[in-house]
Amino acid sequence: MSTVHAILRNRLHAGLFEWNGRSYVGTHQPLVLPELWERVQGVLDGRQANKHRRAKHNFAFSGLIACGHCGCSIVGEIKKQRYIYYHCTGYKGRCNEPYVREEILERQFSDLLGRLSFDDEALEWVREALHASHADEKREHEGAIERFQTEHKRLQSRLDAMYIDKLDGRVDATFYERMSTSWREEQTRCLREIERHQTANKSYMDEGVRLLELARNARRLFERQEPREKRRLLNFLVSNCSWKSGELTATLRQPFDLLAETTLALEKGKAVGGIANGPSQIWLPGPDSNQRQSG
């Protein structure tokens, strides 16, 4: 493990080298992008920081935020055995970004998640739009299911007809085996697609409502959770976090970014005359939304 750790810590792999205590960009071809190398350093640094403190401290934001000045990771550190400060790792050289208290980062993350909050009236409006959209989504899945069922029946008719031809001697056994194997494989594919569309159709509304509830309560959940759970929630909701000159910059992941835009539009619409003046199209979960939520 020590050998692997040394390899991961080696700047040469990112196209850098050190000389007389300073870091330089080499002329050799890097094995990995500098951004990826920095992310790895943040993870390793976070693990090292927690190695001797695991029983007492779990930094919520270490390795989650990049320094807006140099791009290195922002990591946590205990000061005076009670205060948690975050600072740039400085892997690219001395960085002038000052230390920041954890409470400041937490407050700015909380404000970001607050963009997802909306009242009961807005929630009902979004749910109604979700139900209306589900009707279109359901028709698409039902249409696809019908097409694959028709194709499955057509292939079965071919198999039945060819079996009769085989019994009557109009086709030989070798040809029958080759064609029947191919058609049965196509039937299996049709059944898989039918099952996929049936599952997607069933989960669409359930998933949409769950994501709405999570978004609506994200800020409250974040403020009440332990550091490890805070980190898990942020990894699920946000990306591209950076800290520069006292300001946090982050991007809400899909579909929460669109939901935040919808929430803002609803608030503006209500301010000028009611929800009816809000957006005509809102965020809705797509068929691949499950895959989007691991990333």
| Averaged pLDDT for residues 192-200 | 84
Confidence of residue 51 (pLDDT cuts 50, 70, 90): very low
**Quick one: tokens of 123?**
């929630």
Measured CA angle at 84 (ends 81, 85), to 5 deg:
125
Residue 72 CB coordination number (10 Å)? 22
The residue ranges of every structural domain in the chain are 2-98, 116-292
C-beta of residue 67 within 8 angstroms of C-beta of residue 88: yes
Task: Give the pLDDT of residue 259.
Answer: 78
Indicate whether 166 pLDDT > 80.
Answer: yes
> For the chain, how big is the Rg over CA atoms in Å?
28
What is the Cα–Cα distance from 134 to 69, expressed in whole angstroms? 45
Q: Which residue has the tokens 């990306």?
A: 239
Q: Which residue has the tokens 């309560």?
A: 217
The distance from CA 191 to its chain's CA centroid, rounded to whole angstroms, is 29
Using a cut of 0.75, tell me whether the model's pTM lies above it. no
Confidence of residue 182 (pLDDT cuts 50, 70, 90): very high
pLDDT tens across 108-147, in order? 999 999 988 777 776 676 667 666 666 777 788 889 999 9
| Residue of 72, 67, 76 lying closest to 35 (CA atoms) | 72
Start-end of H helices in the chain: 2-9, 34-51, 102-113, 120-167, 173-224, 227-237, 256-271, 289-292
Indicate whether 27 pLDDT > 60.
Answer: no
Task: Give the pLDDT of residue 261.
Answer: 81
Task: Give the pLDDT of residue 26.
Answer: 56
pLDDT tens across 226-263, in order? 998 999 899 989 999 999 999 999 999 887 887 788 77
Query: Based on the number of CB atoms within 10 Å of its own CB, is 130 exposed (0-12), middle (13-18) or buried (19 or more)?
Result: buried
| Residue of 165, 263, 160 lying closest to 215 (CA atoms) | 263
| Averaged pLDDT for residues 147-157 | 94
Q: How far apart are the first and last CA of the chain?
A: 27
